């Protein structure tokens, strides 16, 4: 797999100063957690799920969640499980030329993990792990223990020594309620640290968090405009996303909208980045409520989140375009991490528009170069507009 690998070689050469590297399900967890990018959710009831997976891989999707939980009716669970087993078998038989995306199954109960791993048989090699809903310390332990017990000797042989990962979803009312939030996060921290080698990333379930107060953000508002939600995101990153080696990758919340709605506020995309070259693209983004998505992606990163949960294929290209490291960011990060800078100090950036303070900015620089590895570095004259336009043309 490779981000932007679906683009022709000549297009990537034109766009990237440093191209994204290839990775696979066998890559280090640290790499995979960042490489998740836009994780596309799909109901496990889809009758052509195997074809969907291949098609989305060809459009640049590198991670997918096949959902047995909130996206399907309670009465559909048994049929959805059977469909998953059939679709994984069909995908295994296809013998596709390229690797499928990283595939995760969102389950409802711990028992489903053991049962599905057994029923998948040899096709379990296509599975990267499970998404664990409404995760707390108390509810999380049975899920993680089930994940471990599912990997018997036969399954371990099929997996070739790698492990199935867990992605807990932080979405319980205990997180939303101020009086229980700190204790809940502390408990989650204890359990994910205990099973650290199994936890690939933590996902934020903002829709469920909003439901605790009967809230739903409008298409011209981001999650950060809903103060109750923004406070939860801040506390999750504060306690579980630290850059001191104790934290985890925390992914951005879902953007729920993908068609035009009546607007109350002005569009959030300035004209200048699109002026003279892609004004029609700006118009199309605004018409499909994508300007709000773009703003939320930027706010995700500013608040310590990486990647994003996506429920529509059109959201993938914006997430990936804004994940590419700009040439300016790359230049700053490289300067900060120069060996001779180890003693600290302050230096003017190569772009001569800011000061880089070596010690305080070191963690940022390390994260930036990690993102640059998997998403690449744009050429000096290439902005997110060109990257987005290239991604949308192939979507």
pLDDT in the model for residue 342: 64
In a domain, 4, yes or no: no
In a domain, 386, yes or no: no
Cβ pair 109, 116 in contact under 8 A: no
- Do 55 and 136 have their domain in common? yes
Instruction: For residue 190, list its beta bridge partners.
Output: none
Q: Which of 262, 289, 324 is the last residue of a domain?
A: 324
pLDDT in the model for residue 9: 95
pLDDT in the model for residue 290: 76
- Do 336 and 288 have their domain in common? no
- Do 315 and 361 have their domain in common? no
pLDDT in the model for residue 313: 93
pLDDT in the model for residue 264: 47
- Do 226 and 347 have their domain in common? no
Phi/psi at 3 (5° precision): -65, 135
Q: Is 265 exposed, middle or buried (0-12, 13-18, 19+ CB in 10 A)?
A: exposed
Supply the pTM of this predicted model: 0.91
- Do 161 and 22 have their domain in common? yes
- Do 275 and 330 have their domain in common? no
- Do 331 and 193 have their domain in common? no
In a domain, 157, yes or no: yes
How far is it, in rounded angstroms, from Cα 88 to Cα 184? 36
Q: Look at residues 319, 330, 340 and name the one whose alpha carbon lies nearest to residue 364.
A: 330
DSSP line for 246-270: T---EEBPPP---S----SS--SS-
pLDDT in the model for residue 279: 58
- Do 331 and 248 have their domain in common? no
- Do 317 and 330 have their domain in common? no
- Do 252 and 211 have their domain in common? yes
Range of the domain at 257: 9-324
DSSP line for 274-329: GTTT-HHHHHHHHHTTHHHHHHHHHHHHHTT--SEEESSGGGHHHHHHTTSBPHHH
State the DSSP code for 191: H
- Do 184 and 209 have their domain in common? yes
State the DSSP code for 98: S
In a domain, 206, yes or no: yes
How far is it, in rounded angstroms, from Cα 360 to Cα 345? 10
Strand 102-106 versus strand 63-67 pairing type: parallel
**Sign of the C-alpha dihedral computed for residues 10, 13, 19 and 21 taken in this order:** positive
Residue 260 CB: number of other CB atoms within 10 A?
A: 11
Cβ pair 235, 282 in contact under 8 A: no
Phi/psi at 151 (5° precision): -90, 75
In a domain, 21, yes or no: yes
In a domain, 388, yes or no: no
- Do 370 and 239 have their domain in common? no
Categorise residue 121: left if φ over 0, alpha if ψ from -120 to 50, beta otherwise: left
Q: Look at residues 168, 162, 225, 240 and name the one whose alpha carbon lies nearest to residue 199.
A: 168
pLDDT in the model for residue 287: 47
Q: Report the number of distinct structural domains present in the chain.
A: 2
* DSSP run (H or E) holding 370: helix 358-375
Kindly report the CATH number assigned to the domain that includes residue 35.
Answer: 3.20.20.60
Q: Which of 264, 293, 324 is the last residue of a domain?
A: 324
Instruction: Map tokens 């469920």 to a residue.
Output: 208
Instruction: Map tokens 């934290």 to a residue.
Output: 247
In a domain, 339, yes or no: yes
In a domain, 393, yes or no: no
The token pair at 82 is 């059977």
| Helices 110-120 + 77-94 axis angle, to 10 | 40
Written as tens digits, the pLDDT of the chain (395 aa) is 999 999 999 999 999 999 999 999 999 999 999 999 999 999 999 999 999 999 999 999 999 999 999 999 999 999 999 999 999 999 999 865 567 899 999 999 999 999 999 999 999 999 999 999 999 999 999 999 999 999 988 899 999 989 999 999 999 999 999 999 999 999 999 999 999 999 999 999 999 999 999 999 888 889 999 999 999 999 999 999 999 999 999 999 999 887 655 544 555 555 556 555 555 655 555 445 578 899 999 999 999 999 999 999 999 999 999 999 999 999 999 999 987 766 778 888 888 888 888 899 999 999 999 999 999 999 999 988 889 888 877 66
């Amino acid at each position: 797999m490779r981000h932007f690998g679906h683009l022709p070689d000549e297009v990537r050469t034109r766009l990237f100063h440093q191209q994204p590297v290839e990775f696979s399900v066998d890559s280090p967890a640290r790499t995979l957690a960042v490489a998740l990018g836009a994780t596309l959710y799909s109901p496990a009831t889809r009758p052509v799920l195997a074809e969907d997976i291949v098609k989305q891989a060809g459009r640049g999707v590198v991670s997918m969640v096949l959902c047995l939980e909130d996206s399907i009716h309670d009465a559909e669970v048994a049929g959805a499980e059977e469909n998953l087993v059939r679709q994984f078998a069909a995908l295994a038989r296809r013998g596709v030329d390229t690797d499928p995306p990283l595939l995760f199954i969102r389950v409802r109960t711990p028992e489903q993990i053991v049962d599905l791993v057994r029923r998948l048989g040899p096709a379990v090699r296509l599975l990267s792990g499970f998404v664990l809903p409404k995760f707390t310390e108390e509810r999380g332990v049975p899920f993680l223990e089930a994940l471990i017990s599912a990997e018997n000797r036969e399954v371990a042989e099929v997996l070739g020594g790698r492990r199935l990962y867990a992605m807990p979803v932080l979405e319980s009312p205990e997180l939303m309620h101020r009086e229980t939030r700190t204790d809940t996060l502390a408990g989650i921290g204890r359990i994910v640290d205990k099973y650290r080698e199994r936890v690939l990333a933590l996902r934020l379930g903002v829709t469920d968090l909003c439901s605790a107060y009967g809230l739903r953000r409008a298409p011209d508002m981001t999650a950060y405009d809903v103060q109750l939600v923004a406070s939860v995101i801040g506390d999750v990153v504060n306690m579980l996303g630290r850059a001191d080696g104790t934290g985890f990758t925390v992914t951005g919340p879902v953007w729920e909208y993908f068609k035009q709605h009546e607007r109350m506020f002005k569009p959030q995309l300035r004209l200048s980045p699109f002026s003279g070259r892609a004004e029609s693209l700006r118009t199309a983004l605004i018409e499909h409520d994508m300007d709000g998505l773009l703003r939320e992606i930027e706010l995700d990163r500013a608040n310590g989140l990486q990647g994003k949960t996506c429920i529509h294929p059109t959201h993938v290209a914006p997430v990936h375009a804004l994940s590419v490291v700009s040439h300016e960011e790359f230049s700053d990060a490289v300067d900060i991490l120069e060996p001779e800078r180890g003693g600290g100090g302050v230096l003017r950036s190569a772009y001569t528009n800011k000061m880089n303070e070596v010690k305080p900015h070191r963690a940022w620089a390390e994260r930036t170069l990690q993102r640059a590895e998997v998403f690449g570095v744009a050429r000096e004259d290439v902005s997110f507009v060109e990257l987005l336009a290239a991604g949308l043309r192939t979507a």
